[in-house]
Amino acid sequence: MIRIPEPELMEKPSQVKAYAEADFGSGDKDLIIRLKKFIADIGRNHDSITRIIDLGCGPGNISERLALQWPEAEVLGVDGSKTMVEMARFRKKQHQMKSESLKGLKYFLADIALIPKNTSLIKGPFDVVVSNSLIHHIHRPEIFWEAVKCLSSPGTIIFHKDLRRPASMKEAFELQRKYLPKAPEILVKDFLASLQAAFTCKEISFQLRMAGLDKVKVIEQEERYLQINGIF
Ligand SMILES: C[S@@+](CC[C@H](N)C(=O)[O-])C[C@H]1O[C@@H](n2cnc3c(N)ncnc32)[C@H](O)[C@@H]1O
Structure confidence at residue 19 (pLDDT): 85
pLDDT band at 134 (very low <50, low <70, confident <90, very high): very high
pLDDT at residue 99 is higher than 80: no
Asked which of 128-142, 143-157, 176-190 is least confident by mean pLDDT, the reply is 176-190
**Domain boundaries in the chain?**
24-165+200-231
10, 109, 148: residue to mutate for ligand 1 pocket, most atoms within 8 A of CB: 10
- Pocket of ligand 1 contains residue 158 by CB under 6 Å: no
The answer to whether the Cα torsion of 68, 73, 79, 81 is positive or negative is positive
- Pocket of ligand 1 contains residue 80 by CB under 6 Å: yes
Yes or no: say if 232 and 156 are a contact pair by the CB < 8 Å rule: yes
CA–CA separation, 112 and 101 (whole Å): 27
CA–CA separation, 177 and 61 (whole Å): 24
More confident residue, 16 or 230: 230
Q: Which atom of ligand 1 is nearest to the CA of 11?
A: 25
Q: Average pLDDT for residues 19-30, to the nearest whole number?
A: 86
CA–CA separation, 163 and 12 (whole Å): 22
CA–CA separation, 22 and 30 (whole Å): 16
- Pocket of ligand 1 contains residue 57 by CB under 6 Å: yes
pLDDT at residue 100 is higher than 90: no
Yes or no: say if 100 and 92 are a contact pair by the CB < 8 Å rule: no
% of the chain exceeding 70 in pLDDT: 99
Cβ neighbours of residue 112 closer than 8 Å, sequence gap 6 or more: 55, 56, 78, 80, 138, 143, 144, 147
CATH of domain 24-165+200-231: 3.40.50.150
- Pocket of ligand 1 contains residue 150 by CB under 6 Å: no
6, 31, 137, 227: residue to mutate for ligand 1 pocket, most atoms within 8 A of CB: 137
- Pocket of ligand 1 contains residue 111 by CB under 6 Å: yes
